[in-house]
Each structure stands twice: as structure tokens, then as C-alpha cells.
Chains A and B, each alone.
Chain A
Amino acid sequence: MEKEYLQNKSNVITLNITDGKVDSYREKEETQSTVRVYEDGKIGVAGALGDVSAAELEAQAVEKLAGGIPYPCKLNAGVKKSVLRTRPVVEDKNLIPATKRLAKKVAAACPRFLVNGKTQASTSSGCYQNSQGTELKFENHAFQVFFQVKDKDSSNIADAYYGASVSRYGKKTEEKIVSDVKMLHDAFFGEKITLPNGKYPMIVAPYDLLGQIFKDLIAEYYVSGGSLFSGKLGDKIFNEKLSIAVDRNPKTNRSAAFYDAEGEIAANSRAFLIEDGVFKRVLTTKNTSAMFGLPLSKTSAAAYDGVPSIGLPGLYVKSTAPDLATLLGEEKAVLIAITSGGDITTEGVVGMPVQLAFLVENGKIVARVSDFSASGNVKEMLGEDFVGVSKKDVFDAPEDEVMVVRMNLINS
């Protein structure tokens, strides 16, 4: 009988900001443990919250084999690796004063905004061991700032959002965040223009767009013929400048383990689904990989008491330019700040009602754009209409890339 043991611990402190003041402190500490056993082509899984002995869980997992869930046993053998990033971004004792100071400064810089939001400091750690001698261990820390602001005179729940996940936090980062939210404030209340209908380069957060096609990359959909990309594995389906990976790299994903839920490690902890426009991988678990004869993507996730499934702990999009000014030159672009939902048809037509957008020139916001609907076919948007990926956002503090694609603007 082969076995796997996993444990994940998280410690999250969240401070809530209402009207520019910190009004609540929340702490959450949780440990989840899992044992999986494999015998005769079947899997048994047991999990528990809190500290429960591996022996106790193993006995439960063995009983669960009777459930009869087929699952191949292909354990990663003899890999020993630890990635321990033990230094918190913000020390616990500094969280409340740092958040109070940030909230006060943002509120002072943005007098027409009602400033609500959160800061969140998290520590994630865990280990994976199996009966084939693999032992993996990780620890990482993240700090996120999120503001949900609104015009004091508006009847909306929120009028704009600002978020930054940062790897370092000090006076300089604080100043960048204050400056970013002030830029959002000034642009929000600045000149508002209506652009004529037509096709424009649009700046979007990668997940807002790629999240629409995530299911099309899952093995079950791919094999069923129900994916936009069924039968195209190995083909060049997008622009050669586009590379997309499921990200578990500790430098860019500070919450996830560098290994997946089945103890597999992608090269550089990034499993590329699209590389240079070529469809390289479908999202698989060890089960769907074996069932459908597809390569293992090393991207599985699992509930603490569940059979492995597909997960998306983070998304990495390879940048093609250091900043928006370099990417776009003198061409104007539209920054999509808030969409109201959006969906995609089975032909790949994306519809995104846009509630807040800004006109960007030379990497800077120059005006607010009236509400519109953005649309396009995802195959074209990521193909001939794909402009590139900027390493830097319009805002200064966020460390995430932004994508630029050409989409149709329809005034609604």
C-alpha cells in the first residue's frame, strides 16, 4: 500500500478599514491534515482540521478504500526539497499601526472618497511526504492591501477598487500606495469622455480575461469536445508573444506551496499551459492524465479530505515589455478597472459590461471613460489582437503584470 501525507497551516490576520479608520481585527489560524492511501487501483482519503495523528488518519483512509474510487498510484519518488521563506512582509506587531497610518493617509489624500478596505497578512506553510521517499516543505508570507472606495455622493456600494499584493512593505511602499489611490481618486473625479465605438487596446488584469477560458483548459472539457480548444493540444493557437502558466513559484505566488497537491513540481514551479502561443498542456490530475492519455500538468489541488482535482492557485503571464509606455508607444489605451460580470459564448465571444474605465496615454491615466461594453472573440483577442503584457501596471505599488488586448468598445 502506498501512502501520502500532507499538512497545510495558515495564519491570517485581517484588519478592516471603514471610512478611513481601522475598525476590526481578525485572526484565523488553521491546520489541515490529509492522508491518502492507494491499493489495487483505488484511493482512500482521510482528512481533519487541527492536529490529528497521521496514524489515526491512515486508519481512516484505509477504511475509505472501500468507497471504490478508482485512482492510479504514481507517486513522485525520492524528491527532497524545502523552500522556506520565513521572513514576514510585515511583522504582526506592526500591522495595526501600519494599517492605521496607511488608512489615514489614503483618506486624507482622497477627500471625495469614502475609504473602506482591508490589509491582510498571511503565513502559509506545509509539508508533503509519501511512501516513495519524497519530502517537501514550504513556508511563505504575503501581505495584501485592498481598498474599496466610493464617491461620498454616490449611491453605489463601491465605485472603484484598488489592490496591491506586495513582497516588501515599508515607508516607500506606503507612499506608492497612497499615491496610487490618489491617482485613482483624481482620475475618478476628473474629465469623463465618451470614446466612439471601435476597437481599442484595452488594459486588463490577466485573470479577468483568462478566467473566462479556464474551464476550456481542463482535461474533462478538452476531451469531451466541449472546449474552445478541443483537439488543438500542441498547436499554435494564440499570439507567439503569449505564455501563460499556473503559478506556484514562491517569488510571485506567496500563498501557495511550490509543489502541487500530488507532490509534483513543475519546472520553476510554473506549469505552462500556453508557451509562445502554443497550447502545451491541458490541466490534469494523475487520474485524468492516465484516463485520457494526456501529459501530467502538475497543477492539482485538493480539499483536505478530498480526492485530487484541478486548481488554479495563481496565474503567471510572461511579460513582453517593462511598462505600458514601452508596450504601447504613443498609442492610447483603455484601462478596464471594473467590469460587471461578463461571460463567453461557446464560440468564444466575450461580453464584458465595463463600469469603470480610464484612458491611458504613455502609461498614465489621462481621463475617465464613460461606461461601455467590451467585446471580442477570445481567439482573436489572444491571437492577432493580442498586444502584449506589461510588467508594470498603471499603478506603482502592485507587483502583478497587466495584459493589453484589442477589443471592441460599444457604448451602451
Chain B
Amino acid sequence: MFTFRQDSYADVRIEDRFSTNVAYMNGMLKEIKERREQRAFIRVFDGKMWYYASTTDIADVQKKLDGLYAQAKSNPKIARNATVKRFQVNVDKKMVFTEDSVRNIPLAEKKALLESYLPILSTSPLMAMPSATYLDRNSVFSFYSSKGAAVEYDYQTCGIVLACTLAEGEKFFQAHHQIGNVRFSALKRRGKEIKAAFDEQIECMQNEVAITPGEYPVILSPEAAGIFAHESFGHKSEADFMLADEGIRREWQIGKTVASPLLSIVDCGKSLGSGYVPYDDEGTKARKNYLIKKGVLAGRLHSGATSAYLKEKMTGNARAVNCTFEPIVRMTNTYIEAGESTIEELFAGVKFGYYIKSVKHGSGMSKFTIAPNVAYEIVDGKITRPVKISVITGDVFTTLGLIDGLSDKVEFMSFVSGGCGKNEQHPLPVGFGGPHVRISKMFAQ
């Protein structure tokens, strides 16, 4: 398809992205559009420097490739380069959304589905400024390399984001709920779930009380646990932070105990959802990667460069937010594996603490932070009243060691808006999940 030279490594990644956006604000149509974009990202590596270019004109790819070749130095021994040697030569076509692609669903049908949920946002006099958005994306990726890789696969997400302001006297609350899936049909008949989510937030707004900042036992819902896994240890598992750093390489040896023995964290791009990545942006096939297994450091996430540097297997985690950026080490679907307790047993172990049910956002480095949306007080193992918490936070390693209970069922989350940010690349779609997780002590304020 492209004319590659053999005195340097090169690859071409092309995305044909279709997306839809239908939005209502305050009962008025605010946006309705379908967009189709084609972009390509071209990389050339001469063994010392990477040269990148992007284009929105696919017919221009060869010219861009030749331009990068002209900047790179000729390296006849490039095939022996440790990074280049690691790149897989997969030839595959993995199209799983052809039959029910959102490209084939009429815009009017998407608009009608969204409109069917609008009445929920006016079921209470406390609701104001309702907003409702339908979003979808279907991407067809293709990847070709100078080593002979030729991979084609598709990706799809769709969902609905609903929000409104809840206001009563001096009290107010930004309520929201999102349903996300990979199939349009799964977005239908979800009214009861959406209504219940808003009713709960009304209850919160009316009754939530401020807390006294301090350290408390905390139980995380599967949504909060998934964000916790992503923020607390997922980012630390991205091996690019270990490049050119012998000290860290020695310290972060596989087999080291880093968490409570109850904890296992996995990253895997194979499962369908917002973090579905059957082949990463270097053409590496997805696999199940244990980051922590029973409290012990079991693996990390790699690109070709980090895999070569650390002499570890490729994991399928080189990802770019779109075809204007180079792939860097990123997560896919990250989750905590189930434990053995029932939810009731988990709560029974808390005399006084907090339950974080839903989350606005999270972030993390040496510390991690989660901003709860809906949270409750726990007294003698029972949920009592809603509470207002701006953030819960903790040192990553201390908190990983303080996990003292996991429930026995895992729930996965898939999203249609937002995503993970790293360096300049945001938002990258990721998925996460987990069981309910009990932590003996976290700082809440």
C-alpha cells in the first residue's frame, strides 16, 4: 500500500472516524451533526530519532512519509534495533461492528432516542436547565509497517449523557447520569435506571451534610474502585516513567510486594467497551496484563521502546488519542479483580466511615484524588445519610496497603464522554471497573 524503505523503520496509522452529536439544552435543540474525519499518522525511526507527521488527506500519506525519510538518517542496521525488533508483524482484519455500526443508524432514530429520555429531566420542580446529549463514534483503524504488519479493526462507542441543575432555596447540585455501550440497541429502555439515578441525586441535594475533614474508613463503589485502580496504580504501571532510569528499574522489580495481598489489578484491551484496543497503535495485539497479583507487582504496560528498554514482553498499550499524536504508554480497560466478601460483609466492617458511590473525576501521581458526586455516611455498617465531600485523597502506596476487603462481584464501566489525560493527550477513551473495595483509612475533606 505504501512504499517503505528498508534503511529505517516506518509505520502508518489511519483512522476513518464517524461520529454523531445531538444535544438539547433547556428543551431546545442545540446541536445535531454527523462528522466523518480521516486522518493518518506517519512515523519514521532511524534508530536515534523518531520523526512524526500527520495529515487529513490520505492521498498525501506517501508524500509525508517521504518527507520524514528525508529528515531521518539512513540506518541499514535498523532491523537489529532493540525497539524495532520488538514490533509485531500482525496481519489481521478484526471487524466486530460492521453489522450494527452506528454509521448505519439514521440520525432521526438517534435524535428520537434522546428525546425519549428528555421528560425524565422535568419530573421534579427542583430540576432546572436540563441538558441531554447523544454521542457515538465508529472508527475503522488500519496499520501498516515497514516490517510487513497490516492490521485493520474497528471500534465503537455510543451513549447518552443527561444532566440538570437541582436547586432548592440556597441548595443546589449538578446532577448527571451517563449510559454508555458499544451497541446502539443497549441504549434503549433505560428510562427506569436514569430516573432512579436522578431521584437519588435529588435526595442527596436535599439532605447531604458537610463532613469534618479527616481520615476515615472508606468503601468505594465499583465505579470509584475502577477510577481508584486507574489513578492509583494504573498510571504507575505505565513503563515510560522508567525509561533511562536504572535506579527505578532496580526498585520496581517484578515480584515486589506493593499492596494488600487481597488486591489484583488487571489491564486488558481485549474486552469490548470504551477501552477496547484489539491492536495498539504500534500494531501490537492485546493481551491480559496483571499489574498487581495478590499484592505483588506482576507486570507493567509497554510500548515498543519501554518493552525493549526493560526487556519485557509487549503488552499492547501504545496508544494515541488520535492520529495527530504519537502513541505513548496508556491504559485500556483497567479493573480490580473480585474478592470473597459479600457487600453486606464489607459494610459490616465499618463503624463510622464513608461510601463513595459515584464520582465526578479523579487524578493521580504519588497521591491520587477522587472527587465524589454521590457519597454517604456509614454508621455501624449501615448507610445513613448523604454527605458532601469535595475530595478523598491518599498516598498511592500507603492506600494500596490499606485495602482490607473486596466484594465478590466485578462491574465494568464504559463511557461515551471524558477519558484519561496524559501529557498533551486528552481525552483517551478507557474503561475501568472493579468490585466494592474497602480501605481502612483515607483522607476526606
Interface residues of chain A, those whose CB is within 8 Å of chain B, are 16, 18-19, 22-30, 45, 49-50, 64, 67-70, 114, 118, 148, 150, 152-159, 215, 220-221, 223-226, 291, 305-307, 338, 340-347, 349-353, 355, 371, 373, 375, 410, 412
Does any Cβ of A come within 8 Å of B348's Cβ? no
Once bound together, how far apart are the Cα atoms of A305 and B49, in whole Å? 36
Which residue of B is nearest A20, CB measured?
A: B244
Q: Residues of B contacting A69 with CB < 8 Å?
A: 29-32
Contact of A22 among B21, B49, B243 (CB under 8 A): B49
Q: Are A346 and B388 in contact (CB under 8 A)?
A: yes
Contacts of A29 in B (CB 8 A): 55
14 extra A-B contacts, CB within 8 A, seeds A18-B244, A155-B248, A343-B390: A18-B243, A22-B49, A28-B53, A28-B324, A157-B241, A158-B241, A220-B129, A306-B21, A340-B368, A341-B364, A343-B371, A343-B391, A346-B173, A353-B367
The majority secondary structure among interface residues of chain B is: strand
- Among A30, A157, A352, which residue has the most Cβ atoms of chain B within 10 A? A157
A114 neighbours in B (Cβ, 8 Å): 244-245
Quote the shortest CB–CB distance from B146 to chain A (angstroms): 17
Q: Is the CB of A341 within 8 A of B361?
A: yes
User: What are the 10 closest A-B residue pairs judged by CB atoms, nearest first?
Assistant: A226-B165, A224-B129, A341-B369, A351-B390, A19-B244, A343-B371, A341-B363, A24-B50, A224-B165, A26-B52
Asked whether, in the complex, the Cβ of B369 is within 8 Å of the Cβ of A342, the reply is: yes
Residue of B nearest to A352 (CB): B391
Determine which of A158, A225, A350 lies in contact with B167 in the assembled complex, contact meaning CB atoms within 8 Å.
A225
Which of A18, A28, A340, A375 gathers most chain B CB within 10 Å?
A340
Residues of B within 8 A of A220 (CB): 25-26, 129, 131
Contact with A along B48-92 (1 / 0, CB 8 A): 111111111100000000000001000000000000000000000
Write out the residue numbers on chain A whose beta carbons fall within 8 Å of the beta carbon of B172: 225-226, 346
C-alpha gap A53/B50 in the complex (Å): 35
What is the bound-complex CA distance between A158 and B422, given in angstroms?
11
The answer to whether B390 touches A158, judged by C-beta atoms less than 8 angstroms apart, is no
Q: Could you say which of A26, A64, A68, A341 has the most chain B C-beta atoms within 10 Å of its C-beta?
A: A341
The docked-state distance in angstroms from the alpha carbon of A340 to that of B390 is 13
The residues of B with any CB-CB pair to A shorter than 8 Å are 21, 25-26, 28-33, 35, 37, 39, 48-57, 71, 128-129, 131, 164-167, 171-174, 210, 213, 235-236, 238, 241, 243-245, 247-248, 251-252, 324-326, 360-371, 388-391, 393, 395, 423-424, 443, 445
List residues of chain B with CB within 8 A of the CB of A349.
210, 390
Cβ of B20 to closest chain A Cβ, rounded Å = 12
A281 to B213, CA, bound (A): 35
Chain B residues near A27: list those with CB within 8 A: 52-54
Instruction: Please tell me if the beta carbons of B30 and A307 are within 8 angstroms of each other in the complex.
Output: yes
- For A349, the closest partner residue in chain B by CB is B390
Q: Flag if A26 contacts B53 (CB, 8 Å).
A: yes
Chain B's closest residue to A68 (CB) is B29
Chain A residues near B370 (CB-CB < 8 A): 341
Q: Which residues of A contact B236 (CB under 8 A)?
A: 155-157
B391: chain A residues within 8 A (beta carbon): 341-343, 351-353
Q: Which residues of A contact B56 (CB under 8 A)?
A: 30, 49-50
Chain B residues near A70 (CB-CB < 8 A) = 28-29
Q: A355 vs B57: C-alpha distance in the bound complex, in angstroms?
A: 44
Q: Which residues of B contact A16 (CB under 8 A)?
A: 50
Contact status of A152 and B366, CB under 8 A, knowing A45-B33, A305-B33, A373-B393: no
Within the assembled complex, what's the spacing in Å between the Cα atoms of A113 and B366? Answer: 16
Question: B235–A353 contact, CB under 8 A?
Answer: no
Contact of B326 among A26, A49, A412 (CB under 8 A): A26
Provide the bound-state CA to CA distance between A155 and B21, in Å: 41
In contact, A351 and B445 (Cβ under 8 angstroms):
yes
How far is B51's CA from A22's CA once the two chains are assembled, in angstroms?
11
> What separation, in Å, do the CA atoms of A25 and B324 have in the docked complex?
13
A375 touches B165 (CB 8 A): no
A342 cross-chain contacts in B, Cβ below 8 A: 369, 371, 390-391
Chain A residues with CB under 8 Å of B21's CB are 306
Q: Given that A341-B361, A355-B365 are known contacts, is A28 also in contact with B54, CB under 8 Å in the complex?
A: yes
Task: Report the nearest B residue to A351, measured CB to CB.
Answer: B390
State whether B241 touches A156 (Cβ < 8 A): yes
Contacts of B366 in A (CB 8 A): 154, 156, 159, 340, 355
Determine how close the nearest CB of chain A comes to the CB of B314; give it in whole angstroms.
19
Do A157 and B365 touch across chains, with their CB atoms under 8 A apart?
A: yes
Given known pairs A152-B247, A412-B393, the reply for A343 and B54 (CB within 8 Å) is no
A24 touches B49 (CB 8 A): yes
Q: A18-B243, A351-B391 are in contact. Are A24 and B326 (CB under 8 A)?
A: yes
Are B51's CB and A373's CB within 8 A? no
List of B residues within 8 angstroms of A352 by Cβ: 391
B8 to chain A, nearest CB (A): 14
Contact A221 B393 (CB under 8 A): no
B31 and A226 within 8 A (CB) = no
Q: Which residues of A contact B326 (CB under 8 A)?
A: 24, 26
Q: Chain A residues with Cβ under 8 A from B37's Cβ?
A: 49
Are B362 and A341 in touch, CB under 8 angstroms?
Answer: yes
Quick check: B371 and A347 within 8 Å, CB to CB?
no
Bound-state CA distance A346–B174 (Å) is 8
Q: How far is the CB of B289 from chain A (nearest CB, A)?
A: 18
**What is the bound-complex CA distance between A153 and B245, given in angstroms?**
8
Q: Which of A22, A27, A50, A159 has the most CB of B within 10 A?
A: A27
Q: Hey, which chain A residues are within 8 Å of B423, CB to CB?
A: 148
| Most A Cβ at <10 Å: residue of B131, B362, B369, B424 | B369
From the candidates A25, A347, A350, name the one contacting B52 in the complex (CB within 8 A): A25
Docked pose: A150 CA to B325 CA in angstroms: 23
Closest residue of B by beta carbon distance from A344: B390
Provide the bound-state CA to CA distance between A226 and B174, in Å: 7
Alpha-carbon distance A157/B129, docked complex (angstroms): 40
A-B pairs with beta carbons under 8 Å apart, 22 shown = A18-B244, A24-B52, A24-B326, A25-B51, A27-B53, A28-B54, A30-B56, A49-B56, A69-B31, A69-B32, A114-B244, A153-B247, A225-B167, A340-B368, A342-B390, A343-B391, A351-B445, A353-B369, A353-B393, A371-B367, A373-B443, A375-B390
